[in-house]
Structure 1
Amino acid sequence: MMLSTWASLLVCLTVVAAVEDTVRESDVQHVVSHLRSLMPLYETAPERFRRQVQSENETTENQPPLPPPPPSHMHFKVNKCCKKMPKIMNMKTVRECFKSIRPAQPPGGPGGPPPPPGGPPPPPPATDMPEDEESVDNGSTDVEAVEDADGQNAATSEQLRHIPGGKSCKGGRHPGAHRNIMACATQCAFEKESLIQDGTVDQEAFAAYVDKYVEEKNAFTWKDALDAALQNCSASVPASVNQQQNCTSGAMEMLHCMDRQIFVNCPESNWKSNDEKCEACRAAQENCGYKRGPHKRV
């Protein structure tokens, strides 16, 4: 009796083991079979990709090479074209006037102090810049100009963004508070030099101021360029003043115009000839009327 019981248990264990082995083998076979079914995808995809790349390369090789991109006239120093341009106005005075006129920033910067924890975010800071970026690129007229490290003035220290062949020469003037501040800062500097009379630039006093500059700086190489600039700007500046500004003496416009005309009439001895960028830059200043290159903020 006991022997038959042990025999029955042994048979049961053998059956269970056989079933388990069968299941495991079945699972393994299923997985292996599935992996084998996927192998063609892994084997053929790289080959298909290689054939595609090879085909594209052969097509490119049979085509003529692409022409080189057109030369860029953006982001180069204007004083690389016209060397040692005269610095008529003491830009340190303009900078001091700007700092005295510019309103103080509120605590925390233009956006105000940070909001309390858990509170709503502060509104975005107000901007006086035009919404249309093209107006900034094509007609920046803020005097915003101060001398850079090498002592060059605004026209020679800034990078020109657009010249003919790119965007049009339509002018766009900053209508915001920054322009007003700079107009008043430049007027302040002119007043300190006694160059303002009856609310406008005294043309005779300014001409004498330029002649004095030539004598003191021994800048006789620039005499013809300065005379041409004075003649042009004396006639064109009064009509170019934006009467919506807070300060309408024309000091800022005169400084812009002088910078532009000095550059246009740069003596050949100071001009970098046979340079496409420089020639295009000068053509932009000649053809765009009341226009200056972009500036850096004070």
Structure 2
Amino acid sequence: MCCDLPLVYRGTPELFKACREELGFPDHKPPPPPPSSDGHGPHGHPQRGMCVAECLFNRTGLLENGKINKEALKKALDEYLKTDGAWKDVATTTLEICYDAQTRGDFKPDNEKFTSGSSEFLKCFTRNLFMDCIPEKWTDSEECKKMKEKIDKCPKMLPPALFNKRPH
């Protein structure tokens, strides 16, 4: 792991599981789909992430009337960072950047069903924290430097830590 990211808005494992169950998603990873006839396998299920993000944000009060609630985001961030104060400045700035981008309409929902912007906000927040990782949480290696360069060149790419860590 290149950056030990705080997974602020990810919910508890129980909440994550409850959302997956509510949405009818299995609690385990399904086997990979067979490749398509053109040799390229189909893309995964990006809707799952959007569904789960919206469910988590709804259940934790981060959405109000289908919109991201900035005050609730700040409160959740402050509560989470009580035990990880090293991230406070970077995370607070990142919250402002991603919230402002979301409310300006810079994020276009990837799906007509999930228009709250919770998934887009979460992606922005995680990506920006990774790119501005604080020194004491960063692994200074060639592999991590290359990963950061790659993510910098690919604006929609997310850090691998997002997929490797379970919420706590």
Q: Which has the larger radius of gyration?
A: 1
Structure 1 segments of 4+ aligned residues over 3 angstroms from their partners? 293-296
Label 1:286 to 1:229 Cα distance change in 2 as closer, same or farther (>3 A). Answer: farther
| 1:246 aligned partner, one-letter code | K
The answer on whether the counterparts of 1:94 and 1:186 sit within 8 Å (CA) in structure 2 is no
1:202 aligns to 2:69 (yes or no): yes
Secondary structure of the 1:240 match is coil
Query: What corresponds to 2:116 in structure 1?
Result: 249
The answer on whether the counterparts of 1:256 and 1:292 sit within 8 Å (CA) in structure 2 is yes
Structure 2 residue corresponding to 1:239, chosen from 103, 106, 120: 106
Alignment deviations for residues 32-64 of structure 1 (CA, whole Å, 9 cap, x no partner): xxxxxxxxxxxxxxxxxxxxxxxxxxxxxxxxx
Query: What corresponds to 2:16 in structure 1?
Result: 94
Consecutive unaligned residues of structure 1, counting only runs of 5 or more, are 1-78, 111-123, 137-173
Higher relative contact order (CA 8 A, sep 6+): 2
Give % identity: 24
Consecutive unaligned residues of structure 2, counting only runs of 5 or more, are none
Label 1:87 to 1:293 Cα distance change in 2 as closer, same or farther (>3 A). Answer: closer
Give runs of aligned pairs for residues 278-289 of structure 1, distance below 5 A. 278-289=144-155
Alignment deviations for residues 193-249 of structure 1 (CA, whole Å, 9 cap, x no partner): 11112212112221221112112xx21111122123212211333422325331111
For the residues of structure 2 that align with 1:90 and 1:267, how far apart are their CA atoms?
A: 23
Structure 2 residue corresponding to 1:263, chosen from 127, 130, 147: 130
Provide the aligned C-alpha RMSD in A.
3.1
The answer on whether the counterparts of 2:3 and 2:138 sit within 8 Å (CA) in structure 1 is yes
The answer on whether the counterparts of 2:101 and 2:107 sit within 8 Å (CA) in structure 1 is yes
Give runs of aligned pairs for residues 15-94 of structure 1, distance below 5 A. 79=1, 81-83=2-4, 85-88=5-8, 89-92=10-13, 93-94=15-16
1:220 aligns to 2:91 (yes or no): no
The answer on whether the counterparts of 1:229 and 1:261 sit within 8 Å (CA) in structure 2 is yes
Alpha-carbon offset, residue 101 of structure 1: 0.7
Give runs of aligned pairs for residues 181-196 of structure 1, distance below 5 A. 181-196=48-63
For the residues of structure 1 that align with 2:130 and 2:25, how far apart are their CA atoms?
A: 33
For the residues of structure 2 that align with 1:285 and 1:204, how far apart are their CA atoms?
A: 29
The answer on whether the counterparts of 1:228 and 1:265 sit within 8 Å (CA) in structure 2 is no
The answer on whether the counterparts of 1:102 and 1:181 sit within 8 Å (CA) in structure 2 is no
